[in-house]
Amino acid sequence: MTSSYWSPVVRDLAPYVPGEQPRGLDIVKLNTNENPYPPSPRVLEAVRAAADERLRLYPPPEADDLKAVIAAHHGLEIDQVFVGNGSDEVLAHAFFALLNHGRPLLFPDLTYSFYPVYCRLYGIPWREVPLTADYAIDIADYRGDIGGIVIANPNAPTGRALPVSDIEALLASHPGVVVLVDEAYVDFGADSAIGLIARHPNLLVVQTLSKSRALAGLRVGFAAGHRELIEALDRVKNSFNSYPLDRPAIAGAIAAFADEGYFQTQRRRIIASREALVAALSGLGFEVLPSAANFLFARHPQRDGGTLFQALRGQGVLVRHFDRLRTHQFLRITVGTEAQNARLLEVLETLLTEA
Ligand SMILES: *Cc1c(COP(=O)(O)O)cnc(C)c1O
């Protein structure tokens, strides 16, 4: 469909397609990397308490209380933190404000598929750098006259992590451009680059509360970096939407950082389930890439990825399948609860013993 009312920009857009959000409750939903466990009870309490007559008023536009909590948590100053309506929004502002220089932006050929979408939206040229044969990032491949670098660490959909020393080498070899590190999954087993901010003014780290803190529905993400980079994000934000975070979201996010014990327990639980799932899938003959995230990227040497995806779907188990050249034999499987993982394995075992 197109319409003569559409602007030329809209006619050329190729939007991101999120994983399905089915309505049925009996679906085993392992397709969008959500946390299978509820958020901290203290978050729910804080969100409820924030839903009162103050909803009449605009929320604090800079969400300073939340920024102060994030800054303290990561050993930063408040002016080194930016918050937004999910990290997708933070990423969008970063692409527009910091990576938009008319020279190609570099990111891996297999990574978060929102990156090329932002490039098209803002008219940023980009070059996809192929992952190595074993689906890893080789930082030596990131060179040339470029406008910036974007790395998801751990990468999605592969789950593989880069050591912080590699991120530091990238920062040092490209001091003239921003290196954006998207750490959506960092809490499941990678090391954060936030500690490099003091030494590298070209580093922007983006994180989200959607995955490890089980708050995908609340929409809170943040960026950390040198104050000059944060100022650029503020300028874009205040030219777009002054109040990206509502009162319940600010209150819930603050409560999430206050409940460190719950966070640590839940993230360790998911890491343990991931390791058990890797072992079980390997036992069924799957080749599983090493994952530092809350999902696995796996293929079966004798079974077509698309066929397996559809067969699982037919049995009420939803995973993600990317029908592209280097990914179509893989399934991306979110680590679920123990019961969900058991159901996935049971269905896979049946499928693999049939015909
Ligand atoms: C999930 C995800 C995000 C976005 O999360 P929000 O819910 O918008 O905070 C960003 N980057 C990657 C790589 C993701 O997988």
Residue closest by Cα to atom 11 of ligand 1: 184
Residue 92's SS3 state is helix
Ligand 1 site-directed mutation target among 162, 211, 212, 322, most atoms within 8 Å of CB: 211
CA 188 to ligand 1 centroid distance, Å: 14
Atom of ligand 1 nearest to the CA of 221: 9
What are the C-alpha distances in Å from 121 to residues 2, 86, 96? 17, 18, 9
Domain 18-38+261-354: assigned CATH number:
3.90.1150.10
pTM of this prediction?
Answer: 0.97
Atom of ligand 1 nearest to the CA of 152: 13
* Pocket flag, ligand 1, residue 118 (CB < 6 Å): no
Ligand 1 site-directed mutation target among 90, 95, 111, 112, most atoms within 8 Å of CB: 112
Atom of ligand 1 nearest to the CA of 156: 13
Sheet with 330-334, edge to edge strand ranges: 287-288, 295-299, 330-334
Q: Tokens standing for 120?
A: 């098209």
DSSP 141: G
* Pocket flag, ligand 1, residue 184 (CB < 6 Å): yes
CA 302 to ligand 1 centroid distance, Å: 32
pLDDT digits (tens, 9 = 90+) for 274-294: 999 999 999 999 999 999 999
Residue closest by Cα to atom 2 of ligand 1: 184
E strand or H helix at 334, and its extent?
Answer: strand 330-334
- CB atoms under 10 Å from CB of 335, counted, come to 29
* Pocket flag, ligand 1, residue 208 (CB < 6 Å): yes
CA 48 to ligand 1 centroid distance, Å: 25
**pLDDT score at 171:** 98
* Pocket flag, ligand 1, residue 88 (CB < 6 Å): yes
**pLDDT score at 235:** 98
**pLDDT score at 26:** 83
* Pocket flag, ligand 1, residue 210 (CB < 6 Å): yes
C-alpha to C-alpha distance for 275 and 277, rounded to whole angstroms: 5
Q: How open is the CA angle 336-150-267, to the nearest 5 degrees?
A: 25
What are the C-alpha distances in Å from 95 to residues 49, 69, 77, 176? 35, 25, 23, 16
* Pocket flag, ligand 1, residue 112 (CB < 6 Å): yes
Atom of ligand 1 nearest to the CA of 211: 1
Can you state the percent helix, strand and coil of the chain, rounding each to 5? 40, 15, 45
First-to-last alpha carbon distance for the chain, in angstroms, is 41
| 18-38+261-354 matches 41-258 in fold | no
CA 28 to ligand 1 centroid distance, Å: 21
Ligand 1 site-directed mutation target among 89, 208, 220, 296, most atoms within 8 Å of CB: 208
* Pocket flag, ligand 1, residue 180 (CB < 6 Å): no
Q: Of the CATH numbers 1.10.3720.10, 3.40.640.10, 3.40.50.300, 2.40.50.40, which one belongs to the domain with range 41-258?
A: 3.40.640.10
Burial of residue 135, with CB atoms counted within 10 A of its CB: 0-12 exposed, 13-18 middle, 19 or more buried = buried
Q: Where are the domains of the chain?
A: 18-38+261-354, 41-258
The full 3-state SS of the chain, as one line of letters, equals CCCCCCCHHHHCCCCCCCCCCCCCCCCEECCCCCCCCCCCHHHHHHHHHHCCHHHHCCCCCCCHHHHHHHHHHHCCCHHHEEEECCHHHHHHHHHHHHCCCCCCEEEECCCCCHHHHHHHHHCCCEEEECCCCCCCCCHHHCCCCCCEEEEECCCCCCCCCCCHHHHHHHHHHCCCCCEEEECCCHHHCCCCCHHHCCCCCCEEEEEECCCCCCCCCCCCEEEEECHHHHHHHHHHHCCCCCCCCCHHHHHHHHHHHHCHHHHHHHHHHHHHHHHHHHHHHHHCCCEECCCCCCEEEEECCCCCHHHHHHHHHHCCEECECCCCCCCCCEEEEECCCHHHHHHHHHHHHHHHHCC
CA 42 to ligand 1 centroid distance, Å: 23
Tens digit of pLDDT per residue, the chain (355 long)? 889 999 988 988 888 888 778 777 789 999 999 999 999 999 999 999 999 999 999 999 999 999 999 999 999 999 999 999 999 999 999 999 999 999 999 999 999 999 999 999 999 999 999 999 999 999 999 999 999 999 999 999 999 999 999 999 999 999 999 999 999 999 999 999 999 999 999 999 999 999 999 999 999 999 999 999 999 999 999 999 999 999 999 999 999 999 999 999 999 999 999 999 999 999 999 999 999 999 999 999 999 999 999 999 999 999 999 998 899 999 999 999 999 999 999 999 999 998 6
**pLDDT score at 18:** 82
Atom of ligand 1 nearest to the CA of 111: 13
